[in-house]
Amino acid sequence: MAETSVVKNFARLFGVELPLDNRFVVERGGCYFLLSEKLKDLTEKRGGWRHAGTYLGKVKGESFQPSFPLLFMIAEKAKNRIVVDDKSAWLFVCGRDIFKEGILKIEGSSEKGNCTLIFNRHGECLGYGKIVKNLNKLKSGLAVKNLLDVGDFLRRERHPANQEA
Amino acid sequence: MFGKEFFVNRYRLLGWEFRDVALKQAIRINTVNVKGADVVGRLKGLGVELEKVPFLHNGYWVARSDFSVGATVEYLLGYYSIQEAAAQIPATLFTDLKDKLVLDACAAPGGKTVQLADLMDNTGVIVALDVNKQRLEALTNQLERCRVKNTVVYQLDARHASKLGLKFDRIMLDVPCSGNFATDREWFKRRTLRDVERNARLQRQILTEAVKVLKDDGEMVYATCSLEPEENELNIDWALKNLGLETVEINCYGEEAPTEVFGKRLDDSVKRCRRIWPGKTQGFFVCKLRKRR
């Protein structure tokens, strides 16, 4: 059983109370995994594994780096969400920040300093970022700083040393 | 014993006349994450021309794309994997995968592991092994991207699988092999018969260990992307005679495997294996095995 507060606190950044059952969350080397009952049983008897079940994220230094499966779990209920147009979605996946001009819809917080999930027009979560200006007042320019996007999978392939789990 | 002429002559003796092959890239839809029609429609909307692979349920050849299909949002969201068409066959040969305990003995980089999880609908447990740390990182990235939930990964040589103390319902043996010229332009320059024989010995060791951890009523699929009979028909003939295994009839793309190889007569049931010569796909060999009853 692992202390899941680090994962739950991350979900709260987006206004989500994640119903994680502590009995099925395992911490290993700073990485958190959500296991099924069968996997829990197997991994308890046979240690030494490197990855199991759903990877939730990793504590690195002072911060928690979420996995994409965790972001997708949060995305189902997130209050803070921004929907962007196709061009902004593609640039975001390429690691770029979100500009006000590309935002189609804002739900939940629009306050500077808050975290928000970024969605494309298909309703798919592409990652998350931090709001850098009060979006209600902002007319144009930089709106959300990219903190993590799904293009990370490609960047990991190019730079294997940066890989997480 | 090496060089293009040497190997091409061997293929001729097995009944295949060498010809160069231009392989088409293939993708496999991860149906646990998305409906096949949805992702096909979206890729078409991006200008990707797809052609259904007739012998696969969820496989498509990429007939034309102006960009890498490994860099689309749909790919990054785990809606499909890039997986050569022949390589999509082995996982489909198991019966009844749901809720089973499955061993993927040489799992990295994870294409078949993800496919197994998809076929299992994320139920049961897959134990994925690989010995190479860097390849394991590629595997865990695939599992994360494709949202696989039912897999545990160990850094372990398949030849030591019994250390886990488990007995498996299903075992995937996509064993390390010499590869083939269709996927490696330098293959004929780089490979010798000695390499092939070394790989064949390793494969026999893996087969031997796999039998130890297979349940009595379990199923095992053995696959290579090698065209060399030492790694294929000769290894299976050896396994039938030494490991108490029998081949199982399979219905998939490919030819019946030859039962006479370079003058050596093999067990007649080796013909149940499938040999795939390069053409529509890369070169491949696959068979299904179970313990003799």
Phi and psi at B60, nearest 5°, equal -135, 140
Identify the CATH number of the domain in which residue B32 sits: 3.30.70.1170
**Average pLDDT rounded to a whole number, residues B168-197:** 96
The pLDDT of B251-278, averaged and rounded, is 97
**Residues 94-113 in A contacting B (C-alpha not used; CB under 8 Å):** none
Instruction: Evaluate whether B230 touches B197 at the Cβ level (below 8 Å).
Output: yes
Hey, are the CB atoms on B73 and A38 less than 8 Å from each other?
no
Residues from chain B that touch A26, judged by Cβ atoms under 8 A, are none
Instruction: Say which CATH number the domain at B119 has.
Output: 3.40.50.150
Instruction: Work out the average pLDDT over B68-81.
Output: 97
Interchain proximity B153–A151, CB inside 8 Å = no
For residue A161, name the pLDDT band (cuts at 50, 70, 90): very low
Query: Nearest CA to B218 among B41, B69, B94, B120?
Result: B94
Taking an 8 Å cut-off on Cβ atoms, the answer to whether A165 and B77 are in contact is no
Q: What percent of chain B has pLDDT over 90?
A: 97
**Do residues B108 and B236 both lie within one domain?**
yes
Interface check B46 vs A, CB under 8 A: no
Q: Is residue B19 part of a domain?
A: no
Record: contact A52-B152, CB cut-off 8 A: yes
DSSP B114-176: HHHHHHTTT-SEEEEEES-HHHHHHHHHHHHHTT--SEEEEE--GGGGGGG---EEEEEEE--
pLDDT band of B240, cuts 50, 70, 90: very high
Last residue of a domain, one of B68, B83, B98: B83
- Considering the domain architecture, whether residues B211 and B285 belong to the same structural domain is answered as yes
pLDDT at residue B2, rounded to an integer: 81
Mean pLDDT of the region B137-147: 97
Q: Is the pLDDT of residue A162 over 60?
A: no
Q: Which residue of chain B comes nearest to A86, CA vs CA? A: B73
Same domain, B100 and B172: yes
**Does residue B275 fall inside a structural domain?**
yes
pLDDT, position A159: 64
Point out the residues of B that are catalytic: 225
- Does any domain span residue B12? no
Residue B11 resides in a domain = no
For residue B62, what pLDDT band results from cuts at 50, 70 and 90? very high
Q: Mind telling me how many Å the CA of A39 is from chain B's nearest CA?
A: 7
Q: How many domains does chain B have?
A: 2
DSSP per-residue letters across B175-201:
------TTT-TTHHHH-BHHHHHHHHH
Upper half-sphere CA count for residue B181 (Cβ side, 13 Å) = 18
Residues B93 and B54 in one domain: no
* Region B255-282 average pLDDT: 97
Q: What is the pLDDT of residues A79-118, one digit of tens each?
A: 999 999 999 999 999 999 999 999 999 999 999 999 999 9
Quick check: A165 pLDDT over 70? no
Which residue of chain A has the CA closest to B117?
A53
Q: Are residues B165 and B122 in the same domain?
A: yes
Task: Please tell me the predicted confidence (pLDDT) of residue B216.
Answer: 98
In a domain, residue B1? The reply is no
pLDDT at A158: 74
Last residue of a domain, one of B56, B83, B110: B83
What average pLDDT does the segment B275-285 reach?
A: 97
Q: Give the range of the structural domain holding residue B58, as residue numbers without chain letter.
A: 24-83
- Residue B17, domain member (yes or no): no
Identify whether B156 is part of a domain.
Answer: yes
Closest-CA distance, A31 to chain B, in angstroms, reads 13
Q: How much is the pLDDT for B37?
A: 83
Instruction: Among B73, B127, B137, select the one facing A93 at the smallest CB separation.
Output: B73
pLDDT category at A4 given cuts 50, 70, 90 is: confident
**Shared domain check, B263 and B141:** yes
The domain ranges of chain A are 5-74, 79-154
| Among chain A residues, CA nearest to B146 | A69
Q: Are residues B58 and B182 in the same domain?
A: no
**Cα-based distances in Å from B56 to A13, B59, B60:** 43, 5, 8
Is B202 found in the same domain as B98?
yes
Domain boundary among B63, B83, B103: B83
Amino acid identity, position A111:
E
Task: Specify if B55 maps to a domain.
Answer: yes
**ipTM of this predicted structure:** 0.93
Task: Say yes or no for a CB contact (<8 Å) between A51 and B153.
Answer: yes
* Residues B78 and B93 both lie in one domain: no
Q: What is the mean pLDDT of residues B8-15?
A: 96
Are B74 and B105 in a shared domain? no
Q: CB contacts < 8 Å between A and B, how many?
A: 86
Percentage of chain A beyond pLDDT 70 is: 95
Output the pLDDT for position B36.
82
Across the interface, whether the CB atoms of B152 and A150 are under 8 A apart is answered: no
Per-residue confidence (pLDDT) for residue A95, from 0 to 100: 97
CATH number attached to the domain at A79-154: 2.30.130.10
Q: Using CB atoms, which residue from A45, A53, A163 is nearest to B149?
A: A53
Task: Compare all CA atoms of chain A with the CA of B39 and give the residue at the minimum distance.
Answer: A122
* pLDDT band of A163, cuts 50, 70, 90: very low
Chain B residues with CB-CB distance to A119 below 8 A:
none
Judge if B135 and B42 occupy the same domain: no
- pLDDT value of position A1: 58
- Per-chain mean pLDDT for chain B: 97
Rounded distance between C-alpha atoms, residue B267 and residue A149, angstroms: 54
- Same-domain status, B36 and B150: no
